Amino acid sequence: MLHAAAARREDAPMPNEDLDRYRRVAVALTRHGLTRIADLLGLDSGLLAEVRAKVQPGGVHSLGEDLASTLEELGPTYIKLGQLLSTREDLVPPEVAAALARLQDHTPPAPYEEIRRTIVAELGRPPEELFARFDEQPLACASIGQAHAARMKGGDEVVVKVRRPGAVAQVKADLRLMRHLVEEADRSSAKAHQLGLLPFVEQFSATTLDELDYRKEAANARRFADMYRDEPRIHIPRVHPRFSTGAVLTLDRVRGLRVDDIEGLDRHRVDRRRLARLAATTLVEMVVVHRFFHADPHPGNLFVQDDGSITLIDFGMVGRVTEGMAEQLDDLILAFVAGDAERLTDAVLEVAESSQSPDRQSLERSLGDLLDTVRSSSLARVEVSRVGRRMLALMRRHHLRLPGAFDLLAKLVFQAEGLGRRLDPDFSMIALFQPYAQQILERRLDPRHVARRAARAGVDAAWLGVEGPAMLRRLLKQIASDGMRVQVPVTELEPLVGRAERLGNRMVAGMLAAAVLQGMVPLVQGMPRLRRWTAPMLALGVVAGGALSGYLAVSSRPRRLED
């Protein structure tokens, strides 16, 4: 499917406005001795050859260092790309990921006068009039914006995040060029296609565009604050809406120790074992409980207070877990914790995207070997991130890859475990997941959950039974209009129509049976005297649904098509 999408643009020339940017990319790659990356991905062209003839190749460091320097030279969007790659060891080797990690904290600041002009344009007045104090030197710099300490006239200490001038236009142009290059690579390089570079760039583009608008980050911060309103161990900085726009965001200032400042934590006698469990549990519960999670929880975004509580910052990149994703995630967790290779294979194939049909038996054997490795080790020694990366690697060998939303989930789990083990060498992510697996199992067996799933399945099945014949007619009409002639005798269509009609009846019966189940559950739950009869009443509902289905099936008669 990805090849087909790229093929539609095979003859599309690169937009003229992107040619200069492409030249800059080619020059930077050549200057740092990374033209082999362009060759590997099939990105070579006449323009790249021209640049190679004029620019003296450099690159005297490791691949990771040269790549980090290249991305830093190319600007904010590429720095952001490096930040994401530093957490994706399924895409880059560990030594390269380690080198790219320095991009987290070493972005050069924009000149203060540019920052001041942005504040005037967004808030109507200069910072010296809006605030009692505004520090010209930034506290921190990121690829899209930078943060300045300030004091409100009422005395509150705040941090003012200001988007870099021109960042929106530059980032959009960079993303457009990235997509053009990656589409070329996906079409011409089997390795690029196997790595899933195109969906990776699509996911990166979506999250980066969201981060350009600070109003979205403000909304995310307010949602997290609401999530942890009653949790004294987790703090979210307050947003100041009158001093916040799409390009300026003002929040309460956060103080404390970075969560990875081991020496500082020890000096302040913070219980690192308890802190490790609190940090990891918080991140995991965002996914399995709240279904809304911080998608960039690197150590610079978590601060520890004197009492051992945690303050989270930087809510530009978030992820959401839909109902369907939650079901798929539950299946993965249950199968993994149970060590069931067959169920894990089913769960992986349900989640993964593929450009070709996978060999199920081979995949199940590979996953079984992986689970055997896990079973042969004690819980304390199993690293979920290492097992997860092995699973991602074998998925790639089977031409499978995770969709973008699950990439963010995997990143969060890997970072949570890495943080937990840094704080406490004995930390076990598997042990942390076990109670959630038990909760998932109990939820799956809850009659209300069973009834809801049955009702959803019944509605879907009924819709398919009712709409299926019409969809088939539209498809045949479309094929005919495109020049394909389909000649099928009416007598051969009769069995098909009859089967569709009977299938529709059975689907409607399923929906009605599900409705019966769903209606019985709250009745039983709301009447304590009837709770001991839950199982018999549910069984009665199933029998009634089966009888209804049987009646409809028997009463259905094949009908001849009218002329």
Main-chain dihedrals φ then ψ at residue 538, nearest 5 degrees? -65, -40
Cα–Cα–Cα angle for 434, 437, 440, nearest 5°?
155
Contact 315, 221 (CB under 8 A): yes
Angle between helix axes 76-85 and 63-74 (nearest 10 degrees) is: 150
Residue for token pair 């005798």? 489
Q: How far is residue 120 from each of residues 123, 170, 251, 296, measured CA to CA in Å?
A: 5, 21, 18, 30
Candidates 40, 10, 37; CA nearest to 25 is 37
Q: What residues does 161 pair with on adjacent strands?
A: 147, 249
Angle between helix axes 534-555 and 490-526 (nearest 10 degrees) is: 160
Count of all residues that appear for the chain in the document:
563
Rounded Cα distance, 554 and 296, in Å: 57
Candidates 180, 176, 184, 179; CA nearest to 44 is 184
Contact 152, 244 (CB under 8 A): no
Contact 126, 152 (CB under 8 A): no
Tokens of 304: 């520890």
Listed in sequence order, the residues at least 6 apart from 425 whose beta carbon sits closer than 8 Å to its beta carbon are none
Active-site residue (options: 90, 296, 314, 331): 296
The three-state secondary structure class of 196 is coil
| Single-letter amino acid code for the residue at 82 | G
Q: Where are the alpha helices (DSSP H) in 45-196?
A: 46-54, 63-74, 76-85, 94-100, 112-123, 127-130, 167-188, 190-195
Tokens of 182: 């990656």
Listed in sequence order, the residues at least 6 apart from 367 whose beta carbon sits closer than 8 Å to its beta carbon are 341, 344, 345, 348, 391, 394
Sequence-separated contacts (24+) of 363-367 with Cβ below 8 Å: 363/394, 363/398, 363/400, 365/341, 366/394, 366/397, 366/398, 367/341, 367/391, 367/394
DSSP string over 412-423: HHHHHHHHHHHH
Tokens of 519: 């209606």
Candidates 164, 249, 243, 242; CA nearest to 215 is 249
Category of 493 on φ-ψ map: left (φ > 0), alpha (ψ -120 to 50) or beta: alpha
Q: Is 296 marked active-site?
A: yes
Question: Which residue numbers are catalytic?
Answer: 296
